[in-house]
Structure 1
Amino acid sequence: MISDNAGNYLLDLAKQSIKYYLENGEKMEKPKDYPIELDENLGVFVTLNKNNYLRGCIGYPEPILPAIDATMEVAIAAAVNDPRFPQVTMDEFESLDFEVTVLTKPELIIVAVPDQYFEEIEIGRDGLIIQKGYSRGLLLPQVATENKFGIEEFLEHTCMKAGISADSWMDESCDVYKFQGQIFK
């Protein structure tokens, strides 16, 4: 994964990106001097919380952009484009808690029978992506821990996030992926 220095840099960058966007209505320029390791393509999520409640969360599960660029984009998106919430305002900016999660590449879990997922998934370490047809849901590793989910509940909630029935993870036409996340708060 990335160094603590680079992770903390991304956390500060997420805050700066949101603040600049809220004040100016446009994306700020990418800094010129940043840790070189952030040029690596990585999956990144930015989560905003207010008074211990989710206020926005958007990210790229796949490593499609350099971490530095992905963080700037998803930070702004979490603040102003999460369809579950109204846009963040400048008045509430200071009351937000920021979190950046850097992801490993998602890995398809191959099982012969659904019960094998219980051996392949570790709560607190793994995040999940469940895909069935065009429906896809993702939950970060910390979601299971924060909500005290067991593995079956974690699978069910990821299915529901995808907009499919909670027991879809048992269906052969459903793909389950796991990934790990490095969290910076």
Structure 2
Amino acid sequence: MSLTKAHQQRLLALAKNSIEHGLQTGKPLKINLADFPPELAGRRATFVTLEKQHQLRGCIGMLEAVRPLAEDIAENAFSAAFRDPRFPPLQAEELDGLDIHLSILTSAEPMAFTSEEDLLAQLQPGIDGLILEEGRRRGTFLPSVWESLPEPGQFLRHLKQKAGLPAGYWSDTVRVYRYRAEVVT
């Protein structure tokens, strides 16, 4: 589902408003879904990525669609700004120059492959987001990560490390799911 430019702008404004509300109150913005068109009220999984001078400043999201789209954006924008454990909470003076990127995900589909080489051959750089699972370990990379890891082998090695596995790890029990994202900036 592609969003209209007006809907994209509304979601970006919502993300910024939730961050501003968080700076003032310490809480995410509560929204009334009746204020949003049906296209923004359906359940969707999203990630909100914050960047400052092209450097990651926070990224939080959901892989499963558990909340209405507008609500998910408001919650994830707040969490990316204030709850990403990799960064201190955002400060008011950081708001100027903060770039907000929204990723609206499709449902994840399991991939069928016979080996690591077979999996690598199926990957679509710049298009696929991946979820890798092995036992209780799990990691995901949004499609935008291809910008910094453009080669499929490199992308997969780093994803394994993100999931807490060695870069060269492989077993027949590895599960991989593919999804796509509509990016709004």
Indicate whether the TM-score tops 0.5.
Answer: yes
The answer to whether the 8 A contact 2:27-2:78 is kept is no
Determine which of 47, 55, 66 is the counterpart of 2:49: 47
Q: Does 1:172 align with 2:172?
A: yes
Specify the SS of the correspondent of 2:112: coil
Percent identity for Structure 1 against Structure 2 = 34
- Summarize the alignment of residues 98-113 of structure 1 with structure 2, pairs less than 5 Å apart: 98-113=100-115
Partners of 2:30 and 2:67 in 1: how far apart? Answer: 16
Specify the SS of the correspondent of 1:85: coil
CA RMSD of aligned residues (A): 1.4
Aligned to 1:125: 127
Aligned to 1:183: 183
Alpha-carbon distance, 1:35 to partner: 2.3
Q: Does 1:159 align with 2:129?
A: no
- Summarize the alignment of residues 1-185 of structure 1 with structure 2, pairs less than 5 Å apart: 1-4=1-4, 5-31=6-32, 32-144=34-146, 146-168=147-169, 170-185=170-185
Amino acid of the residue matched to residue 22 of structure 2? Y
Partners of 2:85 and 2:134 in 1: how far apart? Answer: 22
The answer to whether the 8 A contact 2:49-2:100 is kept is yes
Give the stretch that moved more between structures: 154-163 or 21-30: 21-30
Specify the SS of the correspondent of 1:73: helix
- 5+ residue gaps, structure 1, are none
Specify the SS of the correspondent of 2:84: coil
Structure 2 length normalisation: TM-score?
Answer: 0.93
The answer to whether the 8 A contact 1:2-1:37 is kept is no
Partners of 1:7 and 1:134 in 2: how far apart? Answer: 35
- Deviation readout 1:56-100 (Å, 9 max, x if unpaired): 000001111111111111111100110101010111111211000
Give the stretch that moved more between structures: 159-168 or 121-130: 159-168
The answer to whether the 8 A contact 2:29-2:75 is kept is no
Query: After TM superposition, which residue ranges in structure 1, 4 or more long, deviate above 4 angstroms?
Result: none
Alpha-carbon distance, 1:172 to partner: 1.2
